[in-house]
Amino acid sequence: GAVVSQHPSRVICKSGTSVKIECRSLDFQATTMFWYRQFPKQSLMLMATSNEGSKATYEQGVEKDKFLINHASLTLSTLTVTSAHPEDSSFYICSARGALYEQYFGPGTRLTVT
Amino acid sequence: QKEVEQDPGPLSVPEGAIVSLNCTYSNSAFQYFMWYRQYSRKGPELLMYTYSSGNKEDGRFTAQVDKSSKYISLFIRDSQPSDSATYLCAMSGSGNTPLVFGKGTRLSVIA
């Protein structure tokens, strides 16, 4: 099956710093990738849809200046959490859309802001 | 009414049992249906993908879609302790719309 990787798998940063998370489709090209956030024992919350070569589409309530998304190639999308605060601590998961519109998810990145 | 309804469980079954998981939905435009398995602190893993109505089988897993009833199911045969996870249904109306997820059903298979 298709493989999506994320890096790093976990990161701890200090309040006020920025953190970049990478999402890569390893064996297929993805024109569309998605970024989700998940709190413990809750379902996935879509943050934004990322299309290669264009600006991301953010869901209502998600600050685009705080969560910067770049989808510069068909295999890479990045999420940068700027000026991180403790409330940004969460599990961030990306997914990539396959040729049949199915989605393959990465393993997730656990962000802890101290 | 939520777009996708899924019983959160928890569901506990003995090893070897047949497990039935299901979701109902309200949007008749949905035509892409997926089931994911998610272990704790991991990303969801795509188990089954179905376009429109019908059945699909893959090993111990069978997915069914009944669009007339707006009801989808996932059956797991000969369940194993390693099947213990949260199972998420997901669906979308077109290739360009994001997936809508159920809240997930927590399954425990007891050895």
How does the average pLDDT of chain B come out, rounded? 94
Residue of A nearest to B37 (CA): A105
Q: What is the mean pLDDT of residues B15-26?
A: 97
A106–chain B Cβ distance below 8 A for any pair = yes
**Alpha-carbon distance B86 to nearest alpha carbon in chain A (angstroms):** 9
* A49·B51 Cβ contact <8 A: no
pLDDT digits over A104-114, tens only? Answer: 999 999 999 99
A1–chain B Cβ distance below 8 A for any pair = yes
B103–chain A Cβ distance below 8 A for any pair = yes
Q: B79 phi and psi, to 5 degrees?
A: -60, 145
Chains A and B: how many Cβ contacts under 8 Å?
50
DSSP E strands in chain B: the ranges are 4-6, 11-14, 19-25, 32-38, 45-51, 54-58, 61-66, 71-76, 85-92, 100-101, 105-110
**Chain A residues touching B94 at Cβ < 8 A:** 101
Residue percentage of chain B with pLDDT more than 70: 98
A91–chain B Cβ distance below 8 A for any pair = yes
* A107·B98 Cβ contact <8 A: no
Q: What is the mean pLDDT of residues B36-45?
A: 95
pLDDT digits over B51-104, tens only? Answer: 988 899 999 999 999 999 999 999 999 999 999 999 999 999 887 788 999 999
pLDDT above 70 (res B1): no
pLDDT of residue B22: 96
Identify the residue with better confidence: B53 or A95: A95
CA-wise closest residue to B79 among B6, B8, B12: B12
* B32·A34 Cβ contact <8 A: no
Helix, strand, coil percentages for chain A (3-state, nearest 5): 5, 55, 45
**Chain A residues touching B49 at Cβ < 8 A:** 100, 102
pLDDT of residue A100: 85
pLDDT of residue A64: 93
Q: Rounded to 5 degrees, what angle do the CA atoms B97, A95, B67 make?
A: 45
pLDDT above 80 (res A1): no
**Chain B residues touching A4 at Cβ < 8 A:** 43
